[in-house]
A and B are shown apart, each in its own frame.
Chain A
Amino acid sequence: MTHNLFLFIAAFLACAVEMVEALTIVLAVGVTRGWRSAIIGTATALGALTIVIAALGPALAVLPIDSLRLVVGGVLLIFGLQWLRKAILRASGFKALHDEDAIFTAEQHAAAQAASEVRSGVDWYTFTVSFKGVFLEGLEVAFIVVTFGGAQHNVALAALGAAAAALVVLLVGLVVHRPLSRVPENTMKYAVGVMLTTFGIFWAGEGAGVKWPGSDVSLIALLVFVLAGGASLTSLLRRRHAQLELTGVTA
C-alpha cells in the first residue's frame, strides 16, 4: 500500500512538473503561430511516449525481481540523486530557478522570428518545437514510470499517476492560457528527488542482498533520513551562499 502510494505520488509529481515546462513551450508556439500544428505536435509526442512505456514496461516485468531491483534501484538512485542535487542547488541559490515567464517570452520571440514551412498543412516549426518540448520533457517521466513502476511490477499505476498529472496540467493550462509560473516547480522536483532516492536505496539494497530492519517499514525511515539529509545540505549551502553574497562573490 505504502509502495503504491509513493509510486503514484512520484509519477504524478514528476509528470506534473515536466508537463508545466512542456506547456510553456507549447503555449508559446501555439499563441504565436497557431494551435493546429502545436496540438498535432503535442499529441504525436504523447503517443510516442505511450509507445515507449507500453513497450518497455512489460519487458521489465519478465526479469527476475532481485536482478531487476538491483539494476533498476541503482539507475533510479543515480537518476533521483540528479534531481535532488539540482533541487538542493536551486533551493540554496547556487543554481537559477526555472523562470517559466522568461522561457515563454524567449520561445515566443524565437517562434515569431522563425521562417514558415508548411508540409501537409502542418507548420513544421510549430510541430517540431511542440513535439520536442513534450517528448523530451516527457521522456524523464516515461523513464520514471517504467523503472519505478517496473521494480514494483505495477507500471500501470505509475502510468495512471503520470496521465492524471498530464491531464490536470493540460486542463489548468487551457483555463489560464498562460505559463504556470506560480507552480512551485523546485519543491516538486525536490519531492520527486527524495522519493526516487529513497526507493533507489531500498531496492538497490534489497537487490544487493540487504535485509532491511522492519522490512517495508524501513522505507519510511529511509524517506525521513533522505529528507533530513537534503534539508541539512540545503541549509548548509544557503548559509554558504549568503556568505558569498556578503563577500561580493555572486553564485
Chain B
Amino acid sequence: MKHLATFGRFWYDFIIGDDWRLALGVVAAIALTFFAAHHGADWWWFLPLAVLALLGFSVIHATRARLPGR
C-alpha cells in the first residue's frame, strides 16, 4: 500500500506538479471548448486566452504569499 501511494504521488508530482488548480483549469477549459465545438460554436480564441489567464493566476498566486502584510 505504501509503495502504491509513493507511485501515485510520483505521477501526481510528475504530471500535475506544484499547482493542481492549473491542471484542473486546463481540463475545464478543454471541456468547455469541446462542448462549444459540438454545439456549433467555434471558440478557437477561448483556449489560448484561458491558458494565459490560468498561467497568470497561477504565478501571481505563487508570489502572493510573499507580499508584505500577507
- Which residues of A does B touch, CB under 8 Å? 70, 73-75, 77-79, 81-82, 84-86, 88-89, 92, 94, 139-140, 143, 197, 201, 204-205, 208-213, 218, 222, 225-226, 229-230, 233, 237, 240-241, 244, 247, 249, 251
Give the residues in chain A near B56, CB-CB below 8 Å: 229, 233
- From A77, A86, A244, A251, B51 is in contact (CB under 8 Å) with A77
Residues of B within 8 A of A233 (CB): 55-56, 59
Distance, CA A251 to CA B70, complexed state (A): 13
Interface residues of B, dominant DSSP: helix
Where the two chains meet, the residues of B that have a C-beta atom closer than 8 Å to any C-beta of A are: 14-19, 22-23, 26-27, 30, 33-34, 37-38, 42-44, 47-48, 51-52, 54-56, 58-60, 62-63, 66-68
Cα–Cα, bound, A81→B66 (Å)? 22
Q: A209 to B19: give the CA distance in the assembly, Å.
A: 27
Kindly state the separation between the CA atoms of A210 and B54 in the bound complex, as whole angstroms.
20
Contacts of B52 in A (CB 8 A): 225-226, 229
Query: B59 to A212, Cβ gap below 8 A?
Result: no
Residues of A within 8 A of B23 (CB): 78
Chain B residue contacts of A201, Cβ below 8 A? 47-48, 51
- Whether A82 pairs with B44 at a CB distance below 8 angstroms is no
Q: How far is the CB of B13 from chain A (nearest CB, A)?
A: 10
Q: Which A-B residue pairs are the 7 nearest by beta carbons?
A: A209-B37, A82-B17, A208-B34, A229-B52, A208-B33, A210-B44, A78-B23
Which B residues lie within 8 Å of A241 (CB)? 63
> What residue of chain A has the Cβ atom nearest to residue B19's Cβ?
A85
CA distance A94 to B33 in the complex (A): 33
Cross-interface CB contact of A204 among B47, B58, B62, B63, cutoff 8 Å: B47
> Given A81-B22, A237-B59 in contact, is the A205-B16 Cβ separation under 8 Å?
no
Q: How far is the CB of A55 from chain B (nearest CB, A)?
A: 17
CB distance from B25 to the nearest CB of A (A): 9
A210 and B55: CB pair below 8 A? no
